[in-house]
């Protein structure tokens, strides 16, 4: 049905937005799609080091259901699927910018390590201060 069932009654707008954004990789997918316009599954996977295929697909499917990303399948000999942002995805990204800025300032404030992925190719640079080392997991 049009109305997605798993998204429950919301308390407020933030609640509704968070529901769509929460997921370990969703904001990153949003960003990746935003900066590249259109990406294939494999490109996305390589662009988000550490993501498992299962999670990538799961998030992508949810985001498609939520109307954030568009999925274009090309029935070719080697399968080809292209993902891109819908207008809602684009506007969500815009709404996230303020939050991103806040977070960036927070990173500066607390001097946390930053892991920069992406850029265009595989630039695994890191950090602002001293060491980086992509230590496993947080939280």
Partner DNA sequence: TGCGGTACTCACCTTCCGGTAAGTGCCAAG
Partner DNA sequence: CTTGGCACTTACCGGAAGGTGAGTACCGCA
- Binding region for a copy of itself (CB under 8 A): 2-22, 27-28, 31, 67, 88, 91-92, 94-107, 109-117, 126-132, 134-135, 137-139
- Residue showing tokens 């080091």: 49
Given the structure tokens 């404030």, which residue do they identify?
Answer: 109
From CA 25, how far away is CA 9, in angstroms rounded?
24
Q: How many residues bind DNA (CB under 7 A)?
A: 28
Give the Cα separation of 82 and 97 in Å (integer). 24
Give the residue, chosen from 30, 51, 63, 92, that forms a contact with DNA under the rule CB under 7 A: 51
Residues 52-111 that bind DNA (CB under 7 A): 52-55, 57, 61, 71, 73, 77-81
Q: Which is nearer to DNA, 25 or 89 (CB)?
A: 25
Assigned token pair, 97 = 């910018």
Phi, psi dihedrals of residue 25, rounded to the nearest 5° = -115, -5
Angle between helices 26-36 and 53-65 (to 10 degrees): 80
Site string for DNA, 24-43 (x = CB under 7 A): xx--------------xxx-
- Can you read off the two tokens belonging to residue 85? 């942002």
CA distance 32 to 44: 7
Q: Which is nearer to a copy of itself, 21 or 57 (CB)?
A: 21
- Where do contacts with DNA occur on this chain (CB under 7 A)? 2, 4, 6, 22-25, 40-42, 50-55, 57, 61, 71, 73, 77-81, 136-137, 139
């Amino acid at each position: 049905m049009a109305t997605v069932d798993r998204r429950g009654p919301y308390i407020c707008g933030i609640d509704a937005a968070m529901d769509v954004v929460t997921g370990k990789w969703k904001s990153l997918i949003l960003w990746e799609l935003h900066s590249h316009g259109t990406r294939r599954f494999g490109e996305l996977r390589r662009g988000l080091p550490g993501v498992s295929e299962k999670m990538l697909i799961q998030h992508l499917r949810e985001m498609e259901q939520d109307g954030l990303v568009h999925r274009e399948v090309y029935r070719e000999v080697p399968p080809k699927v292209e993902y891109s942002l819908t207008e809602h995805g684009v506007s969500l990204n815009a709404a996230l910018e303020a939050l991103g800025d806040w977070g960036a300032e927070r990173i500066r404030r607390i001097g946390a390590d930053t892991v920069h992925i992406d850029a265009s190719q595989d630039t695994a640079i890191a950090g602002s201060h001293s060491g980086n080392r992509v230590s496993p997991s947080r939280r």
